[in-house]
Structure 1
Amino acid sequence: MKNPKRPTRNQKKALLSVGLNPANWLVFKKVDGELHLVHRENGTTRVIPKI
């Protein structure tokens, strides 16, 4: 996994729309309309659709 980055403003809106707290998630991959996220504390991953 590459170094995860903080979400941008538009990515934060996508996180909020699926009920996630943007302060707890980092973006490690952006693929065709999907955001691959990793949790800051416990390292779990999620894939959400991008707005």
Structure 2
Amino acid sequence: MDLVRDVLDKQLVDRHGAKMGRVDGIVAELRPGRPPELIAVETGSVAMARRIG
């Protein structure tokens, strides 16, 4: 998915320009017969640990 390439590990910035951390995980809902729907982006050490295994 392009979403993973384009969003994962990118810097999050709030509307005032303050850095909020990096995107450590992406949550998507898989639906039969329809494209996946983005539900949330995750940040923090727990999401990063799940990726690393």
What TM-score bracket applies, with the shorter chain setting the length? Answer: under 0.3
User: What TM-score comes out, normalization by structure 2 length?
Assistant: 0.27
Higher relative contact order, chain-length normalized (CA < 8 Å, sep 6+): 1
User: What TM-score comes out, normalization by structure 1 length?
Assistant: 0.27
